[in-house]
Structure 1
Amino acid sequence: MSYPCISFIGIGLMGAPMAENLIAAGYPLTVWNRTAAKCAPFAERATIAASVEQAAKAADIVIVMLENGAAVEQVLVEQGLIANLAPGSVVIDMSSAPPTMARAHAALCAARDIGYLDAPVSGGTVGAAEAALSIMAGGDGDTLEQVRAVLETLGRVTHIGPVGAGQLAKLANQAIVGITIGAVSEALLLAAKGGADPVAVREALMGGFASSRILELHGQRMIDRNFEPGAPARIQLKDMRMILDEARNEQLTLPLAQRVHDEYLALSANGQGEADHSGLLLALEHINGVRLGEPSLPSRAQPRKD
């Protein structure tokens, strides 16, 4: 079986395990990262490109997994990734970026006879490591079928619609994630402040209508106070900002998204933008002067000093 040559751009928290899965599946891989040292673990198993241009020229398929739209624009356009791709190749942008940017990049690719998909993901670092990501693909159906086997190496693929639809689905996902993290934070703090055991509350809720993946995983993180980043709060803030920008473009008002955006903004302003996004609990504790799970929670008039 002949495998296409893949260049993977962005070896970060998500990109590294995704690249590992592609190598394990037998794909010839070239990797490039803005911080070159992050490519070092792949030196014996993949080609490390010295530049975006070199990565582009080595590829039948380019997968992009970068932190934000500005980074994607810099790599695809300013550093010339699209300009150095051969006709017939395919760009798969799996980053989270504005839908308008996806459409603009697709137009640049189409002008050079290059396929393009916006295919952001959900599932976090655990899903990336387990090849269990939910992949939301926007773009031409024939282009998706051309690279489906590659994407299925990384997770479950759903064709959402035309270019930009994948990014719209990701915004919908992040709205639900951010708002639900806020709801779980408030629910557990409310119960604990009244004297209930938050461990038992979470266990009881997991068996009822309020059960969710957020309650299961992030509720446990809150109880354990484990805020090591799987998905940093600053990234969730970026996503909430994109949700509100898209809402304004569509002349929509989203009060819950606005409120959660403001809470993540406060969390980042308090120097906790690198905490996991479940760390939104920390912002809620700060404004209430209390801490989840303490036997005797201090009053707001006497906030904690630490």
Structure 2
Amino acid sequence: MPSPRVAFLGTGLMGAPMAANIARADLPVTAWNRTPEKAARLVEHGVRVAESAADAVAEADVVCTIVSNAESVEDVLFGHGVAEAMRPGAIFVDMSSIPPRIEKRHAEQLAERGIRHLDAPVSGGTRGAAEASLAIMVGGRKDTFVAATPVLAAMGRATRVGPDGAGQLAKLCNQVIVAISVGGLSEALLLASAGGADPAAVREALRGGFSESRILQEHGQRILDRNWMPGGLVRNMLKDLDAVIEEAEDCGLDLPFVGLARSLYQSLCDRGVTGYDHTALLLEIERRNEPHRVGDKPDVTPM
């Protein structure tokens, strides 16, 4: 069986390394980005760069996209002519993080054109994208998932969690855990520092106990380094938490911890801290507890 031809739309912080990893798996890749320079750097990985999104997908068997929000997905699909240009039977894999209800609508619209659909948002940040170790949460038909597996496997570990929209629902569950955990981690390290303990030593002492996690390992180090260069953006976390609350309301659920986390991220965004890594939630907690601060390192911030 010939290798699937892949189009990758959206080659930003996440998309560029993801597309490169697909190419490293010896799959033919054509890339497109609204800012052409961001796609051009993939040429060294053997990726063909298309002048338009429609050109990129015209011969593709699998089309992957990862863009910032639902409006951007809509624009790529229907504003840039992707849905019209895709061949019947091809698979559209949306790896963006958007509300489940919108993903379901896109699946229905594509099915009317004979195009198959998967929603496959990811977790793991820029490091996971670079290392091809992303957790990929997939919604859609089982046979479509199986057909797209060679492409998904080049980017990380893919798990089908249910029908169309279920992948986005799983991503919202991920964001609930991450947002609340980052809040707890921030408060714990601030408490350690204010109480006179070495927060770095406290983090090390907690390793291997019940609070051990990738968040304690990676985000804990980020906080100690006060490194707010983005893996996952504050503004994207707020977007996802808004979607969580909307989905919870549709299900008749009250999620109080989510509401608190959302209000803290909203406060950060209101202060203009939108392009920082989402571990910068610490900055809002510190603001409420001045003059207390975790460590004495200077902040490393985006330009």
Same fold (TM over 0.5): yes
* Superposition pairs of residues 211-250 of structure 1, within 5 angstroms: 211-250=212-251
CA–CA separation in structure 1 for the residues paired with 2:15 and 2:183: 27
Map of 1:167 onto structure 2: 168
Measure how far apart 1:294 and its partner are.
4.6
* Structure 1, unaligned runs of 5 or more: 296-306
* Superposition pairs of residues 56-135 of structure 1, within 5 angstroms: 56-135=57-136
CA–CA separation in structure 1 for the residues paired with 2:11 and 2:280: 24
Measure how far apart 1:26 and its partner are.
1.1
CA–CA separation in structure 1 for the residues paired with 2:132 and 2:139: 20
Map of 1:31 onto structure 2: 31
CA–CA separation in structure 2 for the residues paired with 1:111 and 1:186: 49
Instruction: Tell me if structure 2 keeps the 8 A contact 1:30–1:58.
Output: no
| Structure 2 counterpart of 1:270, one-letter code | R
CA–CA separation in structure 1 for the residues paired with 2:239 and 2:20: 27
User: Identical aligned pairs, as a percentage?
Assistant: 49
| Structure 2 counterpart of 1:34, one-letter code | R
Measure how far apart 1:37 and its partner are.
1.3
**Does residue 1:293 correspond to 2:280, yes or no?**
no
| Structure 1 counterpart of 2:182, one-letter code | I
The normalised TM-score by structure 1 is 0.93
| Structure 1 counterpart of 2:7, one-letter code | S
Over residues 201-242 of structure 1, what are the superposed CA-to-partner deviations in whole Å (9 max), with x where a residue is unaligned? Answer: 111111211111111111111111111111111111111111
Once structures 1 and 2 are overlaid, which stretch shifts more, 61-70 or 244-253?
244-253
Aligned residues: 295
CA–CA separation in structure 1 for the residues paired with 2:195 and 2:72: 45
CA–CA separation in structure 2 for the residues paired with 1:66 and 1:38: 13
CA–CA separation in structure 2 for the residues paired with 1:151 and 1:29: 13
Map of 2:254 onto structure 1: 253
Does the residue aligned with 2:265 lie in a helix, a strand or coil? helix
Instruction: Tell me if structure 1 keeps the 8 A contact 2:10–2:32.
Output: yes
**Does residue 1:43 correspond to 2:33, yes or no?**
no
CA–CA separation in structure 1 for the residues paired with 2:208 and 2:153: 32
Does the residue aligned with 2:111 lie in a helix, a strand or coil? helix
Map of 2:263 onto structure 1: 262
| Structure 2 counterpart of 1:108, one-letter code | Q
CA–CA separation in structure 2 for the residues paired with 1:106 and 1:175: 25
RMSD after superposition: 1.3
Map of 2:300 onto structure 1: none
**Does residue 1:185 correspond to 2:182, yes or no?**
no
| Structure 2 counterpart of 1:6, one-letter code | V
Map of 1:301 onto structure 2: none
Instruction: Tell me if structure 2 keeps the 8 A contact 1:17–1:129.
Output: yes
CA–CA separation in structure 2 for the residues paired with 1:223 and 1:146: 43
* Structure 2, unaligned runs of 5 or more: 298-303
Instruction: Tell me if structure 1 keeps the 8 A contact 2:89–2:114.
Output: yes
Instruction: Tell me if structure 1 keeps the 8 A contact 2:61–2:91.
Output: yes
The normalised TM-score by structure 2 is 0.94
Measure how far apart 1:79 and its partner are.
2.3
Map of 1:283 onto structure 2: 284
| Structure 2 counterpart of 1:46, one-letter code | V
* Superposition pairs of residues 3-18 of structure 1, within 5 angstroms: 3-18=3-18
Measure how far apart 1:58 and its partner are.
2.8
